[in-house]
Structure 1
Amino acid sequence: MALVTFLSDFGDKDYYVPAVKAKMLAINPQLNIIDISHNIETFDLAHAAFILRATFRDFPKGTVHLVAMNTTGNMTQGYIGVKLEEHVFIGPNNGILSLLADQDPGILVQFADIHLKDTSFPAKDILAPIAAKVASGAAIHDFGGPLTNFRKLMPRNPKATREQIIGHVMRVDRYGNLITNIRKEVFDQLNPGRFSIEFGRESLDRLNSGCDQVEPGDCFAYFNSLGLLEIGINHGHGGNLLGLKFESVVYINFNP
């Protein structure tokens, strides 16, 4: 299956997204191009990485993922292809691809100069042709050699002891719900049966199965489909009402 996903911060009001798609379809009109999102906050690598990490494993193995974030930024050190968990990612070497999993990719390729152009639109002129050709059967090794300077960004990880987990808000979604980096498996390993979840000025001593398990206006906390602790206010914007945002601290205190 010639399947390409496309993630960017281009929005949907300009010509950028259709231009990139047109470039890929000109190479292979049979490509199936799936938009993950083009409404990523501009230049926000953490937002883009969160969305891609949360979704890429749901696509068939062998899918090519085109990542167009900060492709002309000062952080970008060339353009690369990586293979991770039998998925292929094509994008800039600016650290975003280091945030997709806890382990390093199995294959790292630096695209050779012959495939690069002097352009103000590298997503269209550099990355799109390579993504289309890889999705059509080429190998990422066909476009360069081993990458030796894989740029990495350090994710913010929770701290856990027998008494407490200290985590952070990683994403405030469009409903105002706050998705944290506290994982269910860590909570389950440490939970003695009694606990309190503290965020902002609120505290909860129980988990819900979903946001609709509390009355409108009440706070909830549950582990979502990603296995991450999510908190908020039913029928309310939790981020605004609780005064929480990206990187706000969330505590789970264990009571033996």
Structure 2
Amino acid sequence: MQCITLTTDFGHRDGFVGIMKGVILTRAPRALLIDVSHEIAPGDVRAGAFVLMNAHRYFPPGTVHLAVVDPGVGSSRRALAVRTRRAFYVGPDNGVLSWAVSQDPVLEARWIENSELFLQPVSQTFHGRDIFAPVAAYLCRGGRMSRVGPEADDWIRLPRPDPIRSGADAASGEVLYVDRFGNAITNLPVELSPRGAPRIRGVFMVRKRSSARFPAHAFYGAVSRGRPVAVPGSSGFWELAVHGGSAADKYGLRPGDPVEWSTATGLPCSSGRPRSA
């Protein structure tokens, strides 16, 4: 039984997700459909790319990953299918697939252009139903990539910021993603300070209209409730959190906010006061 994962910004209020699943199961009745997330903020391609990047590695070889975060639906943006060493990826060519795809050697990429595979007539507002779901089902059944469309080589790679090291004891980066709990996931890898060491070292800071200081600990509850803390997250990146609360709400953290890490003491930063309103 072949897996197809779904990552979208459709939510669950409307019928979009169920309709896509119906199309897939009509064409690939034995497919195992797995929801990664349908709560990506509407049109937030970068958030979709992060969620897919964080999830794809946990699925078996041959999985088809279908991602539809598609603010350009109906425009001139192209549709893309990619085959890597371990999986297939189907979605709009806007970068939503690119962070996941970059973690595995690409064997083949194709523009999705073969209308014989589509659900007709094709709507200009719901390519998830009419183009992406049918193509995902086709690949799930063992269909050939060459039939999907012509080779693609100039597809969009969404820039992903790399952290900047300043010696062994300091680095700077940014917030990549804010999760449902209000934890701000940075692009700073947990290897900055080794997990399992007797003491996880360093302080993380975010400098905005005012600054916030997040001491590094192994888990959220290492500080009192309501206090800021940085923890090595399950995604492999450091997270800025508030024990029992939301760091995003308390400190106004958003994707793109700059983050600094250092093991130095006496850093010129506040002790975790929220930003002014």
TM-score (norm 1): 0.88
1:224 to 222, 233, 237: 233
Deviation at residue 7 of structure 1 after TM alignment: 1.1
- Asked if 1:243 corresponds to 2:252, the answer is yes
Contact kept? 1:9, 1:43, Cα under 8 Å: yes
CA distance in 2, matches of 1:212, 1:195: 17
Deviation at residue 48 of structure 1 after TM alignment: 0.6
Cα shift readout 1:40-74 (whole Å, capped 9, x = no counterpart): 10000011111110011001111001111216437
CA distance in 1, matches of 2:71, 2:53: 19
Contact kept? 2:8, 2:67, Cα under 8 Å: yes
Cα shift readout 1:106-132 (whole Å, capped 9, x = no counterpart): 321112343456422211111111111
Structure-2 change in CA distance of 1:132 and 1:194 (3 Å): closer
Question: Which residue matches 2:140?
Answer: 135
CA distance in 2, matches of 1:140, 1:71: 25
Cα shift readout 1:61-111 (whole Å, capped 9, x = no counterpart): 110011112164377632111023411001111122222235763321112
Question: Which residue matches 1:119?
Answer: 123
Question: Which residue matches 1:73?
Answer: 73
Higher mean alpha-carbon deviation, 36-45 vs 21-30, is at: 21-30
- Asked if 1:196 corresponds to 2:200, the answer is no
Contact kept? 1:71, 1:92, Cα under 8 Å: no
Q: Where does 1:21-100 land on structure 2 (aligned, <5 Å)? A: 21-70=21-70, 72-73=72-73, 77-100=77-100
Contact kept? 1:76, 1:93, Cα under 8 Å: no
Instruction: Count matched residues.
Output: 251
CA distance in 2, matches of 1:130, 1:194: 48
Question: Which residue matches 1:182?
Answer: 188
Q: Give the unaligned 5+ runs of structure 2.
A: 195-199, 266-277
Structure 1's consecutive aligned runs of 4 or more residues displaced over 6 angstroms after TM superposition are: none
1:153 to 155, 158, 163: 158
Q: Secondary structure at the match of 1:146?
A: coil
Higher mean alpha-carbon deviation, 165-174 vs 100-109, is at: 100-109
CA distance in 1, matches of 2:123, 2:212: 51
What amino acid is the match of 1:202? Answer: A
Higher mean alpha-carbon deviation, 34-43 vs 90-99, is at: 90-99
Higher mean alpha-carbon deviation, 134-143 vs 193-202, is at: 193-202
Structure-2 change in CA distance of 1:70 and 1:56 (3 Å): same
Matched residues, percent identical?
Answer: 27
Deviation at residue 187 of structure 1 after TM alignment: 4.9
2:223 to 214, 227, 232: 214
CA distance in 2, matches of 1:225, 1:72: 32
What amino acid is the match of 1:5? Answer: T
Contact kept? 1:70, 1:76, Cα under 8 Å: no
What amino acid is the match of 1:89? Answer: Y
Structure-2 change in CA distance of 1:176 and 1:16 (3 Å): same
Q: Secondary structure at the match of 1:130?
A: helix
TM-score (norm 2): 0.82
CA distance in 1, matches of 2:5, 2:75: 23
RMSD: 2.3
Deviation at residue 29 of structure 1 after TM alignment: 1.8
What amino acid is the match of 1:214? Answer: V
Structure-2 change in CA distance of 1:143 and 1:252 (3 Å): same
Deviation at residue 34 of structure 1 after TM alignment: 0.8
Structure-2 change in CA distance of 1:171 and 1:75 (3 Å): farther
Structure-2 change in CA distance of 1:237 and 1:231 (3 Å): same
Deviation at residue 135 of structure 1 after TM alignment: 0.7
